[in-house]
A and B are shown apart, each in its own frame.
Chain A
Amino acid sequence: MKAERHLATTFALALALAAGGAADVAPAAPKLEKLALMDSLDMANWCDVETKEGCVKLVEDCLRPGSTGILWRDKGGGGWMRYPSKEEVAPKTSEYVIEKRRNLPRFGAYWALRLDNLDFEVFPFVYEECRRRNLAYGIHQTYEENHTSNHSQSQWTIEHPQFWNCALDGIPWPGHASLAYPEVMAHKLRFADEHIALKPQKIFIDMWRCGHWSLRWEYVKPNLDRWAALYPGEPPPKDWKDDRWTRLCAESTMAYLREYGRRCKAAGIQLVIGLPEMDLKDDFAWRQYGLDWKLLMAEGTINGIWVMNAKYDPARAMESTREILAYVKSKCVNGGKAYFGVNWYPARGGGIARYAQLSGCTSAEATRRLMEMLSTLGYAGAVFECLDCHCYPKDVCEELRKW
């Protein structure tokens, strides 16, 4: 009897092991989140994203790389609104002809979209589609995406030039309205409320897509007045990377994010900040935007950091990426999660194809190494930038599905 029980146990164990071994190779650690960024813009040349059927196609396309969730892009302001916003009011947000102060974009279908003026609302619909497929869902919010030729400029910003950013020489820079003005802060927070009202599970704020904004353009009256009060008789610094200037401008960036975080927390929404150009110095976000992510995480304002790309050493791309990611993870406190962009998007030097080229391996192998890195470093997951036009090739998708 004892021997039979032993045999049965052994047999059961063998079966279990066989079942486990037949499954795809997976790390022992919990499975990684895989969040697809979906913008519907480039996809508009592939399917009709202004219809429910087209939206379903987008959801299903995100399953190709095994996404566990989808972050739907919405701009932090201006053009291509994906819902009928009260802050960025149609039709001027997408009927560019009507707004005299807009330059017109020149490319194909996606510049003619009217996602905020359809006979159904996109966000509730795609969220329901995600729920049905057990996918997480949220918003990929660009900080404020403006393309160089102004066509995607925020409508509110166009209408309120008195709040425009300004260079040191006093020439207005119309790309952004400055958070240093209380009116702009109020507008941006009303925007935040609109996003929260859409009831996403997560909001990922993308700081790279900020329309080339930086503290270089923050020589606006409120900041200049504040400078004069803090440093009487001293002109504002010519070098916009001056430490004191950064600290001064950071007051409004941090205030905005803190308030946004507070509202997300109250609504039970995870807020994650996406930062580009991460390296071991970890000062890019501070210098460019006046943003201290570590402080925001320690305070509990943000629930995570999304490393959009690592500024790796091309001579040792994988190794240096690992060092950077390990550093970031070591700074995550207060339960904060870390995500990394496993991007096909080639910008910022960090795409999978570039890693493969530098490492002398296939894209699938480069993908495997990156995902393994995330797993062993304890990252919460990967972000796929961006799922448009089937850019993630088949072999990469197959590899990603294993994780």
Chain B
Amino acid sequence: MVMRALMAALAGAALCARGAQDESVVAGENPAISRDGRRLAFQRIENRRCHLGVVDLATGRIEWVARGDTDRTRLENACHPAWGPDGSLVYSYANMTNTAYERFSAKGPKLGYALRVWKDGSSRELVGGLTRNFSPSFTPDGRTIYFCRQGGRGAAGRHDFTRRMGIARVDAAAEHPDPLPVIGCPSRDAGLSQPVVSPDGRWLAYAELSRAYGIWGIKVGRLENPKEQMSVSSGDQSAYAPNWFPDSRHIVYTGFSVGDPGWCVYVMDVASGAMKRLCEGEDACVAPDGRTIYYSLRGEIRRRAVDAADFPAPAPLPPDPSLQPEQVLARYDTVTTNRTNKVIKAPHACSPDTVHFYRYKFFWDGRPDAFLCACAFGGAGSSWSFVLDHASTMSGVEIGGSSTCTAGIGDEIGVGMHEITSIIAGGVVYNSIDGCVPMPRRGRLPRDPCAGVWHMNIFPNGGRLNDRVKDDKLRVESVEMGIGWPKNVPRPLVFPLP
């Protein structure tokens, strides 16, 4: 025990000693190192404005990309720099020359946070309008910019996923390109941000706030199909601001686990989820050679050498719950008629290492051709996936939440056949029928033209099925509950990365 304590003390002392050797570069935060490693972009808050600068690492000379006016009638802010391979710098910029009232009423220009690209001393606007566009990054080839977007409406005034914080992309070279949605926001209390593409161009890492009073977590998905994604940070750590190492296998990010002194810089082996804390600090980025990181700590950007000792040893991969075949443990027939509330007790308590599912078979308007399935994946803070096996009548899903946790996918994202869509444990699933989004209010039937809604609350020890359907259109034929991976449900993204 004495030896263990001594070693822990030595390790702590080693971290402190390493930290003391980190070199201060410039006053500021949110550093971004250029692809040639010669310049560092950063933001600095002064006089309640956020300014954006670029420092030449050899000479220390600063060139200001956007330095807000100190005139208090204008609110100019620039933040979140990210470099492209040709020396372009994309960032988020706002210049609020009017009040909130003017901006949202008929008067005055519609001002939000625009994406701008700076190169050779001048900037051009890429994406603007009364939307908030921020946290951008270039793909390795510099052709596309991924970013976080919030605001705007979709066609016919319907909800557009961009009203919530979701991830979008644009063509970096185009003049005023239209942003294209990439990943919609899970629910009204959630948000996605800080997308970064791996150097090999295959993976998209980003941060997600998944639920009410939740903590941030990091997800990684396939760039070509970001819906294939999974959480890589552990459920008991708040983690955000990922940035890739050149090997496309490790990320540096900002995290906090209970017991940390504050926000800390971590390195993670994405495949296994093994992580290692480097030092106190935030918003780290990685130099092109992978041997240096830059991060901010208490208003100062620091530089730190990294070596093999700073990388976590890959941990054994967690057991893959999707390999276990399905086993139905309980079945309820003719569960519900219209407007009833049926409590369903699961024959088992949910555990994080086992897949649990509910399979509903129901008739809609006399047609016995629709059923769905929800599966729980393993890991802390189990998540459910919601899959339609037959999507003939259900074309959209809105998943809301209880006051304790929320879940879901955007209502404007149709759930396709055999397509996994992640939701979070304990969610309430509202199914829209005939493509209309239900808006249930306190037990009353949803407004027209939606024909009905039925929903299930999922708890660790069971669920509750309820429906509010007009004209008795819906009849649930059966509910099956079991463990193991249900048939006909595609498996999620599985690591190690092939």
Contacts and interface: CB of A to CB of B under 8 A. Distances in A.
A54 B101 contact: yes
Contacts of B263: 159, 161
A44 B103 CA distance: 11
Contacts of A50: 99-101
Contact of B75 (A51, A100, A110, A117): A117
Interface in A199-216: 211-212
Interface string A114-148: 10011100000000000000000000000000101
Interface in A214-264: none
B213 A104 contact: no
Contacts of B164: 106
A76 B150 CA distance: 27
A112 interface: yes
Interface in A75-101: 84, 89-92, 95, 97-98, 100-101
Nearest to A148: B212
Interface in B91-110: 92, 94, 96, 99-105
B488 interface: no
B99 A51 contact: yes
A144 to B, nearest CB: 13
Contact of B215 (A98, A111, A171): A171
Contact of A98 (B77, B191, B207): B77
A112 B104 contact: yes
Interface stretch (A63-71, A172-180, A284-292, A319-327): A172-180
Given A91-B48, A162-B260, A162-B262, A110 B100 contact: yes
A45 B212 contact: no
Contacts of B72: 117-119
A9 interface: no
A234 to B, nearest CB: 21
Contacts of A95: 50, 75, 77, 94
Given A97-B94, A117-B48, A161-B238, A47 B101 contact: yes
Contacts of B258: 166, 170-172
A161 B254 CA distance: 12
A110 to B, nearest CB: 7
Contact of A48 (B77, B102, B165): B102
Contacts of A103: 165, 189-191, 209
B302 interface: no
The DSSP consensus for interface residues of chain A is loop
A211 B213 CA distance: 9
A50 B72 CA distance: 13
B73 interface: yes
Nearest to B280: A162
A151 to B, nearest CB: 9
A174 B48 contact: no
Nearest to A165: B213
Contacts of B241: 100
A348 interface: no
Contacts of B134: 97
Contacts of B104: 45, 108-109, 112
Interface string B440-452: 0000000000000
A44 B105 CA distance: 10
B455 interface: no
A49 interface: yes
A97 B101 contact: no
A161 B165 contact: no
Contacts of B99: 48, 50-51
A148 B402 CA distance: 11
Given A91-B48, A119-B73, A162-B262, A148 B256 contact: no
Nearest to A120: B72
B238 A174 contact: yes
Interface in A22-48: 44-45, 47-48
Among B30, B45, B241, B406, the one with the most A-chain Cβ atoms within 10 Å of its Cβ is B45
Given A50-B100, A104-B132, A173 B283 contact: no
B49 interface: yes
User: Considering residues B73, B100, B163, B235, which has the most beta carbons from chain A within 10 angstroms of its beta carbon?
Assistant: B100
Contacts of A51: 99
A170 B236 contact: yes
Nearest to A171: B236
A265 B179 CA distance: 57
A390 interface: no
B100 A89 contact: no
B430 interface: no
A376 interface: no
A48 to B, nearest CB: 4
A97 B190 contact: no
A160 B213 contact: no
Contacts of A166: 258
A212 B213 contact: yes
A196 interface: no
Contacts of A45: 101, 104
Nearest to B263: A161
A113 interface: yes
A161 B100 contact: no
A104 B79 contact: no
A85 to B, nearest CB: 11
The 4 residue pairs across chains A and B that have the minimum distance between CB atoms: A148-B212, A112-B100, A48-B101, A109-B104
Interface of A: 44-45, 47-51, 54, 84, 89-92, 95, 97-98, 100-101, 103-104, 106, 108-114, 117-119, 146, 148-150, 159-162, 164, 166, 170-175, 211-212
27 contacts: A84-B48, A91-B48, A97-B113, A100-B193, A103-B165, A103-B191, A104-B150, A104-B165, A106-B150, A109-B101, A110-B100, A111-B100, A112-B103, A114-B75, A117-B48, A118-B72, A119-B72, A148-B212, A148-B406, A149-B191, A149-B212, A160-B262, A161-B262, A161-B263, A162-B260, A171-B235, A172-B238
